[in-house]
Amino acid sequence: MMPSTQPGFGILRKLPVLAKKLGVVRLQARTFQKLSYSLSEKKDISRFPVPKLDTLPEDVQERINEVTEKSGFTPNVFSAMSYRPDEFRAFFQYYDAVMNDREGGNLTKADKEMIIVATSADNKCLYCIVAHSAVHRIYAKNPYLADQIAANWKTADLDDRQRAILDVAMNICHCRALSEDKINSLKDYGLTRDDVWDIGAVVALFALSNRMAFTMNLKPNEDFYLMGRVKKEKK
């Protein structure tokens, strides 16, 4: 048996006490983390006033209630944009026109979200990166790809069709001349000239969205961070 005077024996005797203390530290860390999240939720989501729901025009209330019921929470962009009801209506009307499936269109919802993540990352828009990475994970059924695209779309695990779409999208994002050769190259992937319009419309809409998010200093909902990463509990 190791004598009690042997170097190191004292620490062995203290292990149970240290383990107990470590458990307390971990518990305190979890409590602090929970408190941090709780405090972050109380921060203003926009640098502009956010109206109370019941003070808004009826149609704006209906739109917010609709998305809240569907999502299980109210995305902060809806609350923040309601500060200007006319602009709220115009923005989300154009959003619907661009993001809903177009008859004859070949871009999927995952394609459009991919474009949003890539261009928003290029524009360094926190809200749109976080929110639309979450939506992309849902539509693409892939918990990893959006993070890769946000970091660097050129090194992401994309197929040739996706790369061709983003190549065009990033040209538009940077307002670079779009050659006919590049447009025609999309035909190899079953995409038409009208699909190029759709790519441009998504890029343009979110160029606006990115800049409004910067203007408002818009904060992403905590809910977005886990969407598509962990299974949602059934209520």
- 28 and 64 co-located in one domain: no
Q: What is the mean pLDDT of residues 214-235?
A: 87
Domain count, the chain: 2
Domain containing 145: what range? 53-226
Same domain membership, residue 138 and residue 29: no
pLDDT of residue 18: 46
pTM, whole model, 2 decimals? 0.80
Contacts of 183 (CB under 8 A, 6+ apart): 168, 193, 196
83 and 151 inside one domain? yes
pLDDT, one tens digit per residue, over 29-74 is 444 444 433 334 446 899 999 999 999 999 999 999 999 999 999 9
Instruction: Establish if 62 belongs to a structural domain.
Output: yes
Tell me: do 181 and 200 sit in the same domain. Answer: yes
- Please check whether residues 71 and 140 belong to one and the same domain: yes
Mean pLDDT of 20-33: 47
Say yes or no: 123 and 212 in one domain.
yes
> In this structure, are 34 and 73 located in the same domain?
no
Within-domain flag for 4:
no
Q: Is 7 part of a structural domain of the chain?
A: no
Residue 92 shares a structural domain with residue 131: yes
**pLDDT of 185 higher than 80:** yes
Q: Are residues 146 and 89 in the same domain?
A: yes
The tokens for 117 are: 């993540």
Q: DSSP state, 109?
A: H
Domain contains 136:
yes
- CATH number of the domain bearing residue 162: 1.20.1290.10
